[in-house]
Copies of this chain bind each other. A is one copy, B any other.
């Protein structure tokens, strides 16, 4: 039941938090079930994953808006660099454009970029950041014509071997600067940047108007698996209130999107319980 005594309209759900249906985790809810459950609880929006759209992007977007929710974003582009990316530039760019088409069909404003890691045959991340900037620049106009903004998301250095070549907000802003397109910005996920003691200063000095997303979860002190053992807000060591203040001080007015990959804990719970817990924790810790 929606709790009318509190306003959770700043809260959004990233559907990954309920488990990725196609991976055998989660309750196997349809997008429609997720939409209804979020609307019932007073959430402000939802971010979907491409795998959930299954050719029905326009319908799902319309249904979300009809329920009074924002379509906050779409996860995500293919890896644009590194050992996990598609085999060549043409294949990468083709799927990149396709992801933009899907974001446009969903009528969401933001498509998240998880960059991919160091390009095979190179050392360090600088060369890969240049390749990344080139590929993003080539897609930026295509995205702008479809009212889609591209959000470069820095990932925790733990994943810099193959999943990212931008590890900090500063890295992400450097790539934005290299791209130089008005519809390219950054996403800040507390899981990835909570440890960065220069974050608030970087955002305050360089990120005005460029933060396109803010993602919430927590970093567990005894994290067992960097990819799939994220914590619920309040269960970890991240200073969530300070992080939100840093993002909002840099002008971010969008929603706070909860994205918890948790194969052995939250993905094993009933989705209703997860959604209720998020509301409660958002109120107390974020």
Binding site for B on A (CB under 8 A): 82-83, 117-118, 122-126, 129, 156-158, 160-162, 167-168, 170-171, 174, 194-198, 219-223, 226, 236-242
Contacts and interface: CB of A to CB of B under 8 A. Distances in A.
Query: How many chain copies does the complex carry?
Result: 2
A16 B74 CA distance: 45
B220 A161 contact: yes
Do most interface residues of chain A lie in helix, strand or loop, or is the interface mixed?
A: loop
Contacts of A196: 157, 167
Among A82, A226, A237: residue with most chain B CB under 10 A: A237
Nearest to A119: B237
Given A221-B117, A221-B118, A221-B162, A237 B157 contact: no
A238 B122 CA distance: 9
Most buried by B among A82, A126, A196: A196
A123 B237 contact: yes
A118 B218 CA distance: 13
A221 B83 contact: yes
A126 B197 contact: yes
14 contacts: A118-B221, A123-B240, A124-B194, A124-B237, A125-B195, A156-B158, A158-B158, A160-B195, A160-B237, A161-B220, A161-B221, A161-B222, A161-B236, A162-B221
B222 A83 contact: yes
A19 to B, nearest CB: 23
A161 B223 contact: yes
